[in-house]
Amino acid sequence: MKFAQIIDFETERIDEVRDLLRSYEERARSAGRTGAPDSRTLLKDRANPNRYLAVVEFESYEAAMANSNAPETSELAQQLSALMTRPPVYTDCDVQDRQNIR
């Protein structure tokens, strides 16, 4: 079953966050690392301009946990936490239904 993790965070340094995420994703793809995320969507809260939600999708919960335990992911988490104004909040979700409307 597909799995998604929602990461709720605040930062005043979103460009640096994006750069770190892109670099991490490129390294994971080029290394062919199993368990890496399938997709990522970054959302910005209109009511709070420094609040963001990252929706990261994985092939399965097991793949997400393997990714979470990878040393590269721990390093990324440390780098990202230095750019955040509060600790992130994680929500783990099983994907029940997903439709592309267009």
The residue count of the chain comes to 102
Q: What is the pLDDT of residue 98?
A: 87
- What is the pTM for the complete model shown? 0.88
Q: What is the pLDDT of residue 26?
A: 87
Give the neighbor-by-neighbor strand order of the sheet with 51-58.
39-44, 51-58, 3-10, 89-94
Give every residue of the chain whose pLDDT is below 70, as ranges. none
Q: What is the pLDDT of residue 48?
A: 97
